[in-house]
């Protein structure tokens, strides 16, 4: 009796990352599409793993349609697909509205970025609605590129994106693993593959955020081990794309060069989001928010000094948008503390809360 011939090998070989990558705690395949996300497992206690804040129990992921090959019993006929759905209700029940509200509260400005995130949320909600109504749905490619200068909120948005994808049922766990080249690339032969696989194991079921991803590729050094990490990443981005979302981040121009030299990444990344620099007014607002969270306020003279500081600092080396403003506020608080410590007499509540112009103008930014 003739037997079936061997199956053709997949276009991309499946990388063996260990059994724990391919099965969750309930024994289901980790990459099974179309099933409801199980309760998230505790994230590894590693420094690079960032979890979303734990909130009181609330309605979570949108109910998913049962997969076509799900197990049924003779006494339980399949539930018919609904004829209409309320997308706004799906949005509210998924808890994504709260995550987007938190993102708005956390980040000043960045309206183009927030608009792209809302577009992506709408796309994913419609995909879930189509699935529930029995329409054809291709698993969406969710790998992304965040391009922009340092301090423009890329990591913060990636963290919130992990929560959104988890609430909508597109990843199992909803955690963020943030890495750089040093976490992926080894220093000798045989060192890179184990390092990269270990990072991927920790990231499965969540989002892998690779900051300054272009440093993986160093064409000037033929013996550089970054290419090995790239090849492993490309395999996993293709074969485990239903259980891992990869976000590549870095300067815009350098990311363009990186994609041009590595077309495999370009073909796997579906969503490109540009993060603009903050305006002077937005940086001023960020400074007030940062100071306000610590119970400080600026005197009118300090406000004038702060605006002058921002104008000067933006033209100087190593400016990093919101990150530079955060560092500046930390130093301003130190100068205010020293000023109060050295002042004679008693210190009242108002003085403890007020930042004066001298606390800002003492910065070397005004002498450079």
pLDDT band at 321 (very low <50, low <70, confident <90, very high): very high
Residue 141 in tokens: 């490619």
pLDDT at 163 over 90: yes
4-47 tens-digit pLDDT: 444 444 443 444 454 344 333 333 334 333 434 444 444 433 33
pLDDT band at 293 (very low <50, low <70, confident <90, very high): very high
Residue 64 confidence (pLDDT): 41
Residue 57 confidence (pLDDT): 41
pLDDT at 305 over 90: yes
Residue 131 confidence (pLDDT): 84
Residue 347 confidence (pLDDT): 94
pTM (two decimals): 0.74
pLDDT at 77 over 70: no
All residues at 6 or more sequence positions from 202 whose CB lies less than 8 Å from its CB, including other chains: 44, 46, 48, 49, 177
Distance CA 253, CA 40 (A): 37
Distance CA 342, CA 166 (A): 52
Residue 121 confidence (pLDDT): 93
pLDDT band at 79 (very low <50, low <70, confident <90, very high): low
- Segment 154-173 shows an average pLDDT of 94
pLDDT at 62 over 50: no
Residue 42 confidence (pLDDT): 41
114-139 tens-digit pLDDT: 999 999 999 999 888 888 888 877 88
Residue 151 in tokens: 């301090």
Distance CA 161, CA 117 (A): 8
**Cβ 38 vs Cβ 258: under 8 Å:** no
pLDDT at 268 over 70: yes
pLDDT at 208 over 50: yes
User: If you average pLDDT over every residue of the chain, what do you get?
Assistant: 82
Going edge to edge, which strands form the sheet with 271-275? 49-50, 176-179, 207-211, 245-250, 144-148, 271-275
- Lowest mean pLDDT, pick from 127-141, 212-226, 261-275: 127-141
Distance CA 34, CA 26 (A): 16
Domains of the chain, start order: 19-67+83-275 (3.40.50.300), 280-366 (1.10.8.60)
Which has the closest alpha carbon to 169: 121, 133, 238, 203? 121
Residue 75 confidence (pLDDT): 60
pLDDT band at 82 (very low <50, low <70, confident <90, very high): low
Q: Which residue has the higher pLDDT, 141 or 68?
A: 141
Residue 222 in tokens: 């033929």
269-124-172 Cα angle (round to 5): 80
State the residue for tokens 């988890």: 166
Burial (CB < 10 A; 0-12, 13-18, 19+), residue 166, is buried
Residue 2 confidence (pLDDT): 47
338-348 tens-digit pLDDT: 999 999 989 99
């Amino acid at each position: 009796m003739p037997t079936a011939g061997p199956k053709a090998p997949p276009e991309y070989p499946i990388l063996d990352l260990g059994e724990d990558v391919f099965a969750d705690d309930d024994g289901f395949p980790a990459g099974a599409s179309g099933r409801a996300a199980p309760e998230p497992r505790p994230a590894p206690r590693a420094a690079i793993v960032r979890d979303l804040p734990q909130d009181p129990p609330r309605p979570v992921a949108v109910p998913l349609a049962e997969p076509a090959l799900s197990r049924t019993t003779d006494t339980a006929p399949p539930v018919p697909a609904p004829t209409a759905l309320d997308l706004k209700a799906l949005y509210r029940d998924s808890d994504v509205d709260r995550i987007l509200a938190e993102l708005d509260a956390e980040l000043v400005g960045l309206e183009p970025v927030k608009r792209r995130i809302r577009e992506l949320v709408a796309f994913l909600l419609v995909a879930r609605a189509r699935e529930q109504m029995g329409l054809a749905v291709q698993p969406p490619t969710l790998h992304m590129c965040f391009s922009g200068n340092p301090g423009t909120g890329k990591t913060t948005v990636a963290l919130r994106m992990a929560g959104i994808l988890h609430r909508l049922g597109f990843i199992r766990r909803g955690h963020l693993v943030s890495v750089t080249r040093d976490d992926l690339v080894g220093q000798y032969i045989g060192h890179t593959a184990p390092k990269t696989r270990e990072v991927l194991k920790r990231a499965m079921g969540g989002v892998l955020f690779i900051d300054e991803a272009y440093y993986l590729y160093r064409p000037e050094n033929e013996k550089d081990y970054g290419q090995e990490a790239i090849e492993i990443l490309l395999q996993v981005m293709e074969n485990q794309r239903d259980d891992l979302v990869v976000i590549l981040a870095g300067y815009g121009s350098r990311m363009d060069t990186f994609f041009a030299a590595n077309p495999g990444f370009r073909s796997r990344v579906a969503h490109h989001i540009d993060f603009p620099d903050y305006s002077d007014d937005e940086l001023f607002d960020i400074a007030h928010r940062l100071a306000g969270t610590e119970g400080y306020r600026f005197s009118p003279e300090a406000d004038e000094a702060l605006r002058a500081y921002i104008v000067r600092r933006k033209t100087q080396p190593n400016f990093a948008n919101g990150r530079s403003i955060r560092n500046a506020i930390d130093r301003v608080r130190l100068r205010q503390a020293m000023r109060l410590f050295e002042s004679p007499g008693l210190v009242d509540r108002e003085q403890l809360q007020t930042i004066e112009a001298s606390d800002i103008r003492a910065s070397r930014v005004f002498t450079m």
